[in-house]
Amino acid sequence: MRCKPTLKAYKYRIYPSDAQVVFFAKTFGCCRFVWNKMLEEKQQAYKKKERIPRPTPAKDKQEFPFLKEVDSLVLCNVQLQLEKAFRDHFRNRKQFKLPKFKNKKDKQSYTTNNVQNSIRVDFEKSLLYLPKIREGIEIELHRRFDGKIQSVTVSRTSDGKY
């Protein structure tokens, strides 16, 4: 019998450069845009009592080329999060309300997955490497970790810290 590996989450503070802050703002905006667009499609079908569609962010890239500037896995994760929110609602309507539209004032974050070692941490230089960001992001590594990175969530607090 094989044991499942234990998953652990570590939280670190990052100090992005000005260009990286712009990239993060674009990514947060694209996530919000995709969430709201897919939610609108689902809500319209739900109100008309039709079968709820499973829209993908890939079909919107032709119409909205700015979506190509961000990591595609980020947009896929938005789709998965929205699907889970609807699934939770239909399983337990008392506990989970229908998903709501996101706005700029809400918490801003995005999650990306580690595919083909696209996410790396350099402990000697204290740098974090993410997809679509060539130069590393300065990171405060207050403790080391062992193991493989599954995913990374970048979030921005209301006072501008990452």
Flag whether 1 is in a domain.
Answer: no
Core vs surface per residue 81-102: b (16+ CB within 10 A) or e: ebeebbeeeeeeeeeeeebeeb
| 53: pLDDT strictly greater than 90 | no
Flag whether 6 is in a domain.
Answer: no
Flag whether 7 is in a domain.
Answer: no
Whole-number Å distance between alpha carbons of 7 and 86:
25
Flag whether 5 is in a domain.
Answer: no
Q: Give residue 84's domain range.
A: 13-156
Flag whether 36 is in a domain.
Answer: yes
Tell me how many domains the chain contains: 1
132's torsion region: left (phi>0), alpha (psi -120 to 50) or beta? left
| 1: pLDDT strictly greater than 80 | no
Flag whether 60 is in a domain.
Answer: yes
Flag whether 3 is in a domain.
Answer: no
Whole-number Å distance between alpha carbons of 26 and 40:
21
> Are the C-beta atoms of 112 and 130 separated by less than 8 Å?
yes
Whole-number Å distance between alpha carbons of 45 and 42:
5
Flag whether 103 is in a domain.
Answer: yes
User: What does the pLDDT look like over 104-157, one tens digit per residue?
Assistant: 888 899 999 988 888 999 999 999 999 989 899 999 999 888 888 999 999 998
Q: What is the pTM of this model?
A: 0.89
Q: What is the pLDDT of residue 96?
A: 87
